[in-house]
Amino acid sequence: MAELDFKSAFELMALIRRREVKPSEAVGHALARVETLNPRLNAFVAMRAEQAMAEARALDERLARREELGLLAGVPLAVKDLEEVAGMPTTFGSRPFRDNLAAEDAIEVARLRAAGAIVIGKTNTPEFGHSAFTRNLLFGVTRNPWKLERTPGGSSGGSAAAVASGMVPMATASDAGGSIRLPAAYTGCVGLKPSHGRIPAGPRLGMESFNGISSVGPITRTVTDAALYLDAACGYHPADSESLPHPGISYLGVIERMPKRLRVAFHPDFGHAIERGVLRAAEEAARAFGELGCTVETINEAVPETALAWTTVRAAQLLAQLADVIPAHRADMNRSFVAYTEAAANTGWREYGAAQRTRAEFNEWARRLFERYDLLLTPATATAPFAANGPPPSEIEGQRLADPLLALVFTYPFNLSGHPAIALPAGMTDDGLPCGIQIAAERHRDDLVLQAAYAYERLRPWNHRPPQI
């Protein structure tokens, strides 16, 4: 059924509800596409084909009986291998966890399945989601559907490759420093990092996330699908103490209600180097908001430097989770990941305190900015997708990077602050690779982020331009 290639979840759901397509046909088509494309992309690392088809056929029968179906009934779903799917291993992209069988679904996965989505498999991630490209010792490297020699980004690279290539219309992802938004930008997808706590997360290796920087959310091909996903997954859960109450609205229901005359700031570089082609595309995308009736102002004010603070906070969290694992399994783990994580043992209270003060400084900068503007636009990344095997760029436009994180300079600050942010396709670089624009808004204004993204998508549609693999 080639006509199902690259259908959005919203379109697929409509076809299913009109009984023009059966859930089993949608899932069967997705599985066939995985079988054809995955050997080249390595997006999926584990499948549950038989279980998925059984669930789809059960939905066929419910549909035939005209029973009430969930919001995502029959939609094929991929799950990042940092999240649990009952009965499947959750490996975290790490050899020591290859047999770590999940007893239950992660909260987000359980809610998506309760809405009728059908999990077909798990997607690749770097070890514990640590890097901006997707490669690990257990499953190998994942490739970008637009150019196989390039990375789809990380850490949700498998999810992004699966969605961008049309294997599935949506996938779960997580973002502690840009891991939803970077892969979305590198593959021409939509990647939403909701406000921190908007979608409950967990379990997390038996411990709470004490640093509050990681969010779970969707990678999709359309903004409408991101809103659908958020409607299905958001709302408080007692297992996640950082989760937020339900907002009391349907994000899909309000997506077309972008307020008029929004004040929009565009910051082109956060004070750092950016590739010319990526900047050009972001500038063109920012100008589109003027066509939407917004007042757009380019700003160049100094942004607090947060790379060291983010590294301090993130590494401390990883070491707290893995301090007992690494000594027993060092030989089976990526050496650079181990070195990065164990270096956190040298972080004392002075360094940690300095990181938290920097975090507060960025939050104050954001507070002042969102008093003056409704939205902030930035490029989503500083570069086009780099080599699939890495490493990330060490220089941009001839300028050496003092810290490799500066290639990701637009994303991780909003993990420290918890603001919602979305990455959308901005255009193509000179060598035909996708690049993105990021929209951020005040905390808990996920609705405004989606409204602005949807208006932009309607003005500059891109979903008709799939990669030719």
Residues 190, 229 contacting (CB under 8 angstroms): no
Mean pLDDT to the nearest integer, 241-261: 97
80 as an active site residue: the answer is: yes
Residue 1 lies in a domain: no
pLDDT digits (tens, 9 = 90+) for 385-403: 999 999 999 999 999 999 9
Catalytic residue among 8, 24, 155, 243: 155
Q: Which helix (H) or strand (E) holds 301?
A: none
Whether the CB-CB separation of 82 and 92 falls below 8 Å is answered with yes
Cβ-defined contacts of 338-345 (< 8 Å, 24+):
340/130, 340/315, 341/315, 343/315, 344/312, 344/315, 344/316, 344/318, 344/319, 345/319
Q: How many CB atoms lie within 10 A of CB 291?
A: 12
Give how far the C-alpha of residue 448 lies from the chain's centroid of Cα atoms, to the nearest Å: 18
Q: Which residue matches tokens 């509800």? A: 17
First to last CA, the chain: 18
With CA atoms as reference, report the closest residue to 224 among 192, 197, 259.
192
β-bridge partners, 263: 295
On whether residue 199 sits in a domain, the answer given is yes
Whole-number pLDDT of residue 464: 75
pLDDT of residue 209: 64
Considering 165, 179, 195, 243, which one is annotated as catalytic?
A: 179
CATH number at residue 369: 3.90.1300.10
Task: Considering the candidates 7, 22, 24, 80, report the single residue annotated as catalytic.
Answer: 80
Residue 465 lies inside a defined structural domain of this protein:
no
- Which pLDDT score is estimated for 358? 98
Residue 69 lies in a domain: yes
Amino acid at 304: P
- Gap between the Cα atoms of 85 and 104, Å rounded: 6
Name the one residue in this structure whose structure tokens are 């609205």: 249
pLDDT, tens only, 141-200: 999 999 999 999 999 999 999 999 999 999 999 999 999 999 999 999 999 999 999 999
Q: What pLDDT is attached to residue 125?
A: 98
pLDDT tens-digit readout, 188-235: 999 999 999 999 998 877 665 667 999 999 999 999 999 999 999 999
CA distances from 344 to 312, 327, 416 (A): 7, 15, 18
Write out the residue range of the structural domain in which residue 337 sits.
Answer: 7-459
**Could you give the CA distance from residue 268 to residue 437 in angstroms, rounded to a whole number?**
10
Give just the sign of the alpha carbon dihedral 117, 121, 123, 129: positive
CB 142 within 8 A of CB 152: yes
What's the mean pLDDT in 335-347? 96
Please state, for a pLDDT cut of 70, what percent of the chain lies above it: 98
Structural domains of the chain, count: 1
Which among 326, 323, 332 has a CA at the least distance from the CA of 95?
A: 332
In a domain, residue 36? The reply is yes
Has residue 405 been placed in a domain? yes
Summarize pLDDT for 51-103 with one digit per residue, the tens.
999 999 999 999 999 999 999 999 999 999 999 999 999 999 999 999 999 99
Residue 426 belongs to a domain: yes
Q: How many residues are given for the chain? A: 469
**pLDDT digits 0-9 by tens, 272-324:** 999 999 999 999 999 999 999 999 999 999 999 999 999 999 999 999 999 99
Backbone angles phi, psi at 98, to 5 degrees: -60, -25
- For residue 1, is pLDDT > 70? no
**Could you tell me the two tokens for 52?**
């998925």
Active site residue 250: no
User: Is 2 part of any domain?
Assistant: no
Using one digit for the tens of pLDDT, what is the confidence trace for 90-141? Answer: 999 999 999 999 999 999 999 999 999 999 999 999 999 999 999 999 999 9
